[in-house]
Structure 1
């Protein structure tokens, strides 16, 4: 992957719940992310050229969720395909619950290549339900067809938004951001209606 591709970022999505987007170079295990994500994960001096080590982001995850989060990222990056996880991060404002949704790709030789995705803050949903995580997971599930459709849309829009940024900035960038924003709202709405679904 060239340096230009490494520097592709999603613009910050100015919507309640949607924190922003990330790109993970799995060859170097470095992450390029929106400023809002860097701030939420406590990345004090972000490397805007090479990205920051994935370990910096892992360190910001709550200790009870850290091991499973790291394992989920590793599994998805090695196998390719959809990645989604719900976990807690430690911020200056306190503990926040987030839902991380992305897509990992393999190169032509089947080796880990690139991951990209968005992070949604679901803290408000957790507080409204006022129930422990296990109870949220065993509630009435979102209809499979609806969740599958939302996941497919998110995967395609994440890929399209990254590809769009290989072209000069313009209306297409804004349209891609608007579509990705709506997908984020859709996912947040599904989680709010039924509780955070089982990953």
Structure 2
């Protein structure tokens, strides 16, 4: 059932982070993807509970990026693996931002988690210079934007990093619209007479 819910949309769900109280709040699907009890996620779990659901090879890097975002208030876009409640390892793209108070202390974070497993499998099956004709050009652009974004994180140019954050956000919004369009089309085709 978890796989069916994830297959229905690439956007898994949203998260909210109360930084001073170390409480992360998510919906049921995000909780299950991180192998967290949904009731606990609804009432708020510590960040460490969610970090425990991240693949051990990706955990330290992800925690470091989250800390950097919380300290600076900059957007954070991270791709990493999780082991879900059903035992499946999935690739997710986590995109969020932390709001700082007037004194520069982190207050609240919010963001979205997107399932990248199919994209990642396709990327591994097709060489980087290969072209997959079945994909929407926007999906190809998203992969290139993500690669550029990841490369720019190592460059000490805040303007370039912010610009790549903005580009990735806009491409993500366009992808979300594309997914919604596909979902609506699928629902409409399913309810058409003769289907």
State the TM-score, normalized to the length of structure 2: 0.63
Q: How many residues align structurally? A: 146
* Contact kept? 2:22, 2:47, Cα under 8 Å: yes
1:77 aligns with 2:70: yes
Where does the alignment leave 5 or more consecutive residues of structure 1 unmatched?
Answer: 1-11, 155-180, 189-199
CA RMSD of aligned residues (A): 3.6
* Contact kept? 2:15, 2:112, Cα under 8 Å: yes
Where does the alignment leave 5 or more consecutive residues of structure 2 unmatched?
Answer: 130-142, 150-159, 180-195
Relative contact order, CA 8 A, sep 6+: which one is greater?
1
Whole-angstrom distance in 1 between the partners of 2:31 and 2:41: 11
Which of these two proteins has the greater Rg computed from alpha carbons? 2
The structural deviation recorded for 1:36 is: 0.7
The structural deviation recorded for 1:149 is: 4.5
Higher-helix-fraction structure: 2
Whole-angstrom distance in 2 between the partners of 1:109 and 1:62: 34
1:130 pairs with one of 121, 124, 128: 124
1:37 pairs with one of 25, 30, 35: 30
Q: Note closer, same or farther for the CA distance 1:29–1:18 as it changes in structure 2 (3 Å cut).
A: same
Structure 1 partner of 2:91: 97
Whole-angstrom distance in 1 between the partners of 2:56 and 2:175: 26
